[in-house]
Amino acid sequence: MGPDLKSKRWIVAKGLLFAFLAALSGGLIVTVEFPNPHRAILLGICVWAACRFYYFLFHVLHAYVDPNLPSAGVMDLVKHLLRKRRG
């Protein structure tokens, strides 16, 4: 893995790039692939639910369930839970 990103400007730029890519890909899915309002609504619900689940994994569990849970990524969380389960 590379070094951690420390520049506030680059962190904000990275976040804006993610937002742009999400809007672009979502817009293309809805307008080009599935020009149907029901599918657009389902895509919106899917994205919203995935974002809430991610928030649950890395904020709610850490803040309210177990402050020792790692919050570096999904794989770190899974590894921690598997180690904890084995004893």
Residue 1: the pLDDT is 54
Domain boundaries, given as residue ranges, for the chain: 8-86
Q: Give percent of the chain with pLDDT exceeding 70.
A: 92
Residue 27: the pLDDT is 85
Asked whether 62 and 71 are in contact (CB, 8 A), the reply is yes
State the angle between helix axes of 8-28 and 37-55 in degrees (0 to 180), rounded to the nearest 10.
Answer: 150
Half-sphere exposure of 62 (CA within 13 A, CB side): 15
Cα–Cα dist 30/42, whole Å:
10
Report pLDDT digits (tens) over 33-63: 767 888 888 888 989 999 998 888 878 877 8
Please indicate whether residue 25 or residue 33 has the higher confidence score (pLDDT): 25
Does the pLDDT of residue 30 top 80, yes or no? Answer: yes
